[in-house]
Structure formats: C-alpha cells, structure tokens
Amino acid sequence: MTTTGTTIRTGATRGAAAPAPCWSCHAPVAAADLFCAGCRAVQPPGGADHFTRLGFEPGFALDAADLDRRYFALQRQLHPDRFVTKSARERAISQSQASSLNEAYETLKNPLERAVYLLKRMGIEIDPGDGVTIKDPALLMEAMEMREALSEAADTAAVAKVAANAEAERKKALEAVAAAFATLNHDATRTTVLRLKYLTKMDDEIRARRAALRTVP
C-alpha cells in the first residue's frame, strides 16, 4: 500500500512485480516498497514501473495534486538526513531510490511523457522516425500550415497569435489523448499522442521565432 507523511511504505502494490528478497535480511519485499517490513533496511529501486512506484494504477488520467502529495511523501522518507548514520551501501541505495522516484515523477507529471510512457507499456513506440505522422495527411498538413504561419510571422504580435492558436489546439489534443486512452483504441491513441507531440514541440519553435525577431536590427 502507499502511505502519506513519513510512514514507511510496505506491503504489496496492485500490478507490481513479484516480491524480491531484502538484501539485508532476505525477507520478501514488494517491488515498489522503499523499506523492508522486517529489518526496515532501505531497498534498491527494483523493477517497478513509474505508476507502481508512486502507487497508481496505469492510466493517462492522473490527479496532479495527488501525484505531488505521493511524490513528496516518498521523497521525505529518502531525505539524506535519515541516512547519515547508515552504511555506505544504504546511503547509495537511498540515492538510487530517490533518483528512480524523480524519474517516475517527472515522467508522470508531464502529460506528453506520460502518454508516451503508457504507449511503450502497450508495446507501441513513438519516435520521429516511425513514419506515422507522414502517413497521416491531415496531421501532416496541419503541422505544415502552423509552421508556415510561424515562419511568416513578421512581429511579436503575429507570433503571439500563432502561439495562442497552438496552445488552444494543444489543450484539445490533451482531451483527445485522454479520450483515446479511455477507449483502448490503440491506433487512435497513437495518432492523438503524435499530434500532442508536435503541438508541444511547437513551443520550442515559437520561442526560437521570438528570439529571432528580437535580434533583427
């Protein structure tokens, strides 16, 4: 189970990998548990996925405030001050646990990264070279038109207009991604995540265009 505050988390988590023996006392420890229930020694990160590590069932819909609460509650248990009198091995393990928690938190907190991670769990890879965007004429045309509008923006007001449109479409894309995951339609989910990916990438291009306009004499 997952607890809050500074209580040590022990016990099985739904969807977690099979328990592994504690490195210190060899008692079984669930994959996502930070500490052994028997000897209370901090445990290596193990093979738990990001959702299990933070006590969630896999899914795109997550409460951001709940994610924050769970993350900070677990991080408090790994604070360096708690391990100053421990062995070098335990200090190293606690740092490894903290790193794994950070990675899980950063992935799940970002909607795009969370969506891509979920697709990978489903055996679906998303990368710039998979050809899906090019095979989708509507998606390709939308991206080309938005980039063309950005390249033609002659001042900051024009860039702001493109940025506002991109942000509005990104919000719609987020809703579409959530709906696609809910229907378990893999093809639709992949397409909507690709659209969210390019709309998120537009933020970098918009910042670059703004910077270019500022440097024009």
For residue 76, what pLDDT is reported?
Answer: 96
For residue 133, what pLDDT is reported?
Answer: 47
| Pairwise CA distance, residues 135 & 21, whole Å | 48
Q: What is the domain partition of the chain in residue ranges?
A: 20-109, 125-214
Looking at domain 125-214, does it have CATH number 2.30.42.10?
no
- To which CATH superfamily is domain 20-109 assigned? DnaJ domain (1.10.287.110)
For residue 27, what pLDDT is reported?
Answer: 96
Which stretches in the chain have pLDDT values below 70?
Answer: 1-16, 127-135, 216-217
| Pairwise CA distance, residues 198 & 178, whole Å | 17
For residue 140, what pLDDT is reported?
Answer: 84
Each residue's pLDDT tens digit, 43-74: 999 889 999 999 999 999 999 999 999 999 99
Whole-model pTM: value is 0.82
Is there a shared CATH topology between the 20-109 domain and the 125-214 domain? no
For residue 62, what pLDDT is reported?
Answer: 94
For residue 109, what pLDDT is reported?
Answer: 98
For residue 215, what pLDDT is reported?
Answer: 75
Bin 5: left if φ > 0, else alpha if -120 < ψ < 50, else beta.
left
Give the β-pairing of 28-29 and 20-21. Answer: antiparallel
Tokens of 28: 């079984």
